[in-house]
Amino acid sequence: MIRTHALTKDFVVSRTRTVHAVRGISLDVEPGELVAVLGPNGAGKTTTLRMLTTLIPPTSGTAEVAGYDVVTHPDRVRAAIGYVGQGGAGGAAQLVRDELVTQGEIYGLGRRTARGRAGELLEALDLTEQADRKVESLSGGQKRRLDVAVGLVHQPSLLFLDEPSTGLDPHNRANLWEHILRMRSAAAEPMTIVLTTHYLDEADTFAERVIVVDHGQVIADDTADALKAELAGDLVTLRVAPQHAAELAAVAERAPGTRSVRVTTDRAEGTVEIRIADGPGATPGLLRAADAAGLPVSRVDVTRPTLDDVFLGLTGRSLRENAVDPSQADPSQADPVETSTDRTSDKKEVPA
């Protein structure tokens, strides 16, 4: 459904400054996949989507979408895909139903077909009651559902969603997802969905495949579970008396399967966080080793990793930090993407 090879995009900002937004992305997305593209601000997610949806041309490399090259056959690509951008669609003063009918007509549907399709989408996305209201009067969640309806009006087999739920509260995010998944399962043909998101839980819960992008490159690509198992490991947290923390960390570092150990102490307690392949399986051995070393553990927690832990493991940075947009960080840098985001994590991890 999507095949890219060494896709790049450079933005020449001035004579001395070029932003290398996308640096050689090669991807294959099969029909019917639901793929989340995850990465910090400025990683190149939107730029990649904009190339795949023919909104901007690549600087180099190739991209085939729905069987057509984005540069040589942009019209064919556009007819086959739906795109819900960050800004949203829709003329504010239009009525909701008219907006959908107009969009359908733009895609070449006859008026009668466009009205029929608008009715179906309004019902599927729970917007029938709002059909005769102005777009500008919709709530944030309703507006986003209308954006999705607009993206689907011509029944594309491939839908791109750029941060579909940003700005929505948790209830509206869940509601939007319920609708997206319902539309997807109701589609006659397998619908491929590619979305970008900042919400790690959203990628974790809904995406069948997660592509992690950083500095314009793909740094990981697998199911969320596989990424977590391969790249992060479970987190076993042991609490001890503060004077025992460093010694317990040394014991933990020697335990089989330990990937990294982090120690923090305050007056009351020492905390030893152990990143380890199989937390539940490793914990009894860790406790036996602590006991044998005369280091009584007062509390044990085992937590499964998140996608943020995956990103942290890959880059040493957290996706939760509100990363600075590299192109805005230091205008004097010739290559801001490369040079201004090398931020080290606050966490002090001791490699195992």
User: Where do contacts with ligand ATP occur on this chain (CB under 6 A)?
Assistant: 11, 13, 19, 21, 39, 41-47, 325-327, 337
Residues 6+ apart with CB under 8 A from 285: 255, 256
- The continuous run of DSSP H or E covering 158 comes out as strand 158-162
Residue found under tokens 């982090």: 262
Count of all residues that appear for the chain in the document: 352
Burial class (CB in 10 A: 0-12, 13-18, 19+), 268: exposed
For the bound state, the minimum distance from the C-beta of residue 140 to ligand ATP, rounded and expressed in Å, comes to 18
For the bound state, the minimum distance from the C-beta of residue 203 to ligand ATP, rounded and expressed in Å, comes to 13
Could you give phi then psi for residue 96, rounded to 5 degrees? -55, -50
Tell me the β-bridge partners of 112.
Answer: none
For the bound state, the minimum distance from the C-beta of residue 346 to ligand ATP, rounded and expressed in Å, comes to 21
What would the two tokens of residue 135 be?
Answer: 């777009």
The C-alpha atoms of residue 188 and residue 307 are separated, in whole angstroms, by 32
Residue (163 or 204) nearer to ligand ATP, CB: 163
Residue (195 or 276) nearer to ligand ATP, CB: 195
CB 204 within 8 A of CB 38: no
| Number of DSSP helices (H) and strands (E) in the chain, helices first | 13, 15
Residue (51 or 249) nearer to ligand ATP, CB: 51
Nearest CA among 7, 38, 47 for reference residue 198:
38
For the bound state, the minimum distance from the C-beta of residue 142 to ligand ATP, rounded and expressed in Å, comes to 23
Neighbours of 139 (CB within 10 A): 11
CB 13 within 8 A of CB 327: yes
Residue (43 or 114) nearer to ligand ATP, CB: 43
Residue (64 or 214) nearer to ligand ATP, CB: 214
Nearest CA among 222, 80, 99 for reference residue 159:
80
* Alpha-carbon distances, residue 188 vs 123, 183, 184, 206, 290 (angstroms): 17, 10, 9, 20, 58
For the bound state, the minimum distance from the C-beta of residue 228 to ligand ATP, rounded and expressed in Å, comes to 22
Residue (210 or 286) nearer to ligand ATP, CB: 210
Residue (132 or 330) nearer to ligand ATP, CB: 330
For the bound state, the minimum distance from the C-beta of residue 208 to ligand ATP, rounded and expressed in Å, comes to 21
For the bound state, the minimum distance from the C-beta of residue 187 to ligand ATP, rounded and expressed in Å, comes to 27
Residue (29 or 43) nearer to ligand ATP, CB: 43
For the bound state, the minimum distance from the C-beta of residue 198 to ligand ATP, rounded and expressed in Å, comes to 6
